[in-house]
Amino acid sequence: MFRFVFLYFLIQALPLDAQFFVNLVDFNGGYTRYLFNLSHYAPRFFGPEDTFVNWGVVLVFAAIGSVVWSFRNDSKTDYDQLYYWLRVVLRYRLALGVIAYGFIKLFPLQAPLPSISNLNTAYGDHTAWKLFSLSLGIVPNYESFLGAVELVGGLLLLHRKTATIGTLILLPFLGNVFFSNLAYEGGEYVYSGLLITFALVLFAFDAIRLFRLLSLELPASPNRFYLVLNEQWQRYGRLALKSVFILFTVLLYGFTTYSTYRNGSVRFPKTPGLPGAAGLYNVREFRVGGKTLPYAKNDPVRWQNVVFETWNTISIKSNRPVSIVNTVTEKLPATDRTGGSTEEDYEFAGSQGRHYYRYTVDPARNLLTLKNSNPNYAAETLQLTYTKAGNGQIILAGLDEKRDSVYAVLDKINKKYLIDEAAKAGRRGSLKL
C-alpha cells in the first residue's frame, strides 16, 4: 500500500510533463505571473485544463509502478525514510501552491474592484463564476484576510514541527475553495482538490496522535523519527535549498506581487483612455445609415448606453447577442509592452449584455479606432470621430462594423455607486444617493 501511495503522490507533486517546462521558460508578464504559473502545475495528459481524468492516469501509473517495485524488492518493509521524504516533497509543494495564491489575495489582484461596465451590467447577465469573483472584489479587505490565512498556513508548512498546524489551517480553507468552485462553476475545483489531498497526507502523520490526545484524552506518543545527515555538505545543502525556496517563493514573490498591486490591477488594461471621458453615458440620439432609431430596449442594433472606462475600453449596451467568453480560472494574464492584456480579459469574461472594445486615440483627427475585445468578434472594428460638446456630452460619428454610417449623441450620467459612497461614509456613516 505504501508503495502505491508513495508513487501516486510523487507523480502528482513532481514536474513530469511538458507543461511545467513550458511554464519554466515563459517569462512574459513578470516574476509574479511566472512563479504563479509554476505553482499552478499539475500533471495533465488530456489537454491544458485540469480534469479528474488526469488523476485516473496517475493512479494507473502508480499501480503499475508499485507492482514492478514489489517484484523487484518484495522483502523490504521499512519505509520510514521514504515516508519522511514524501512528506518533505508534499510540504513544499503544498506551500508553493498556497503561498502563490495567498499573495495575490493579500494584495488583492485575484479579484479586483468591479469596473464601471461591471457595475452597469444586470445581475442576471453575469455567470455564477463572475458573480462570485465580483462579490469577492468589492471587499478587498476580506480578500486580503483570506490571503493572510493562506500565507500563514503555507509558512507553517516550511518547518517540520509546525507542518501539522499548517494543515489544520489549510484543510478547512481549501475545502471552502473546493466547494465554492463547485457551487459557482469555477475552474479551480480540480486543483484545489489536489492540494487538499496533499494536506490530508501530511495531516494523517499526526492524526491518530491528535485524536488520542484531544478526543480520547489519552497519552499520545510523540514522533521521534528524524533524518540523520552525517555529511557536512548534506546539512549545508539542506539549509541552502530551504533558503533559496524562501528567498524566491516568499521574499521575491511577495515583493513583486506588492509592486504589481501598486502599479494597478492586472485584470484590466493599463493604457489610459480618452482624458476626462470616464463614466456612464445615456445614448440620447442614435442613427444608422442616416436613419434615426428611437429608444427600444429590445432593438438589437440601437445602443442603450455606453461606458468609457479610465483605461482604453469602451463598452456598449444593446440587445445584440453576445458570445460569452467563459474564462473560469484565476490565471494571471500576460501583458504586452503597452500594458494591454494578451489573453482573455477579466472585464468581459463571464458577462453578456455589453460589447467591449479596446480603442486607440488619434487626437490630431479626433478619431477613435475601436476593436472588439471578445475573441469571438476579433474582426470587428469601428472608426468613430469624437466631439466633446460640453456639459459632459460626447458625439460619436463614423462607420460601424458593417461599414454603415453611425451617429450617436451621448449624455453623461453623474451616477453614484453604493459601494463607493459606503466606503466614503465609513461603517457608521449615513448614506444619501
Model pLDDT, residue 433: 62
Model pLDDT, residue 337: 41
Which of 49-53, 156-160, 246-250, 252-256 is predicted with the least confidence, judged by mean pLDDT? 49-53
Q: Residues 307, 256: one domain?
A: no
Q: Residues 29, 128: one domain?
A: yes
Q: Quick one: three-class SS letters along 73-114?
A: CCCCCCCHHHHHHHHHHHHHHHHHHHHHHHHHHHCCCCCCCC
Q: Measure the CA–CA gap between 379 and 377, rounded to whole angstroms.
A: 6
Is 372 a domain residue?
A: yes
pTM higher than 0.85: yes
The residue with cell 459606503 is 422
pLDDT digits (tens, 9 = 90+) for 30-46: 888 888 888 888 888 88
Is 426 a domain residue?
A: no
Q: Residues 62, 199: one domain?
A: yes
The answer for 398, left when phi > 0, alpha when psi is -120 to 50, beta otherwise, is: left
Is 225 a domain residue?
A: yes
Model pLDDT, residue 252: 94
Q: Please state the rounded mean pLDDT for residues 176-181.
A: 94
Model pLDDT, residue 75: 67
Model pLDDT, residue 96: 95
Q: Enumerate the β-bridge partners of residue 28.
A: none
Q: Residues 102, 201: one domain?
A: yes
Is 333 a domain residue?
A: yes
Model pLDDT, residue 72: 78
Is 273 a domain residue?
A: no
Model pLDDT, residue 245: 94
DSSP labels, 178-223: HHHHHHTT-S-HHHHHHHHHHHHHHHHHHHHHHIIIIIS----PPP
Is 102 a domain residue?
A: yes
Q: Measure the CA–CA gap between 326 and 128, rounded to whole angstroms.
A: 10
Q: Residues 82, 149: one domain?
A: yes
Q: Residues 155, 112: one domain?
A: yes
Q: Enumerate the β-bridge partners of residue 205.
A: none
Q: Measure the CA–CA gap between 193 and 171, rounded to whole angstroms.
A: 10
Which of 117-131, 167-181, 335-349 is predicted with the least confidence, judged by mean pLDDT? 335-349
Domain C-terminal end among 237, 263, 289: 263
Q: Is the pLDDT of residue 352 over 70?
A: yes
Q: Where are the alpha helices (DSSP H) in 124-188?
A: 128-137, 140-156, 163-183
Range of the domain at 13: 1-263
* Maximal C-alpha separation, the chain: 89
Q: Residues 301, 254: one domain?
A: no
Is 183 a domain residue?
A: yes
Q: Residues 167, 140: one domain?
A: yes
Query: What mean pLDDT value characterizes the chain?
Result: 89
Q: Residues 342, 205: one domain?
A: no
What beta strand segments (E) does 240-309 contain? 279-288, 291-292, 305-308
Q: Please state the rounded mean pLDDT for residues 290-316.
A: 93
The type of residue at 276 is G
% pLDDT > 90, the chain: 59
Q: Residues 163, 224: one domain?
A: yes
Q: Is the pLDDT of residue 338 over 50?
A: no
Q: Residues 137, 217: one domain?
A: yes
Q: Is the pLDDT of residue 283 over 60?
A: yes
Is 425 a domain residue?
A: no
Gap between the terminal Cα atoms of the chain? 65
Q: Residues 256, 345: one domain?
A: no
The residue with cell 449615513 is 430
Q: Please state the rounded mean pLDDT for residues 154-167.
A: 94
Counting every residue written for the chain, the total comes to 433
Q: Which sign does the torsion angle of CA 415, 417, 422, 423 carry?
A: negative
- Tally Cβ neighbours within 10 Å of residue 229: 12
Q: Measure the CA–CA gap between 114 and 268, rounded to whole angstroms.
A: 10
Model pLDDT, residue 344: 53
Domain C-terminal end among 206, 230, 263: 263
Which among 333, 302, 340 has a CA at the least distance from the CA of 318? 302
Q: Measure the CA–CA gap between 41 and 13, rounded to whole angstroms.
A: 9
Which among 343, 305, 350 has a CA at the least distance from the CA of 323? 350
User: Structurally, how many domains does the chain consist of?
Assistant: 2
Domain C-terminal end among 214, 232, 263: 263
Provide the pLDDT confidence category of residue 278 given band limits of 50, 70 and 90: very high
pLDDT digits (tens, 9 = 90+) for 69-97: 888 776 666 788 888 999 999 999 999 99
> Averaging pLDDT over each range in 234-238, 341-345, 384-388, which range is the top one?
384-388
Contact 270, 264 (CB under 8 A): yes
Which among 274, 270, 256 has a CA at the least distance from the CA of 335? 270
The type of residue at 68 is V
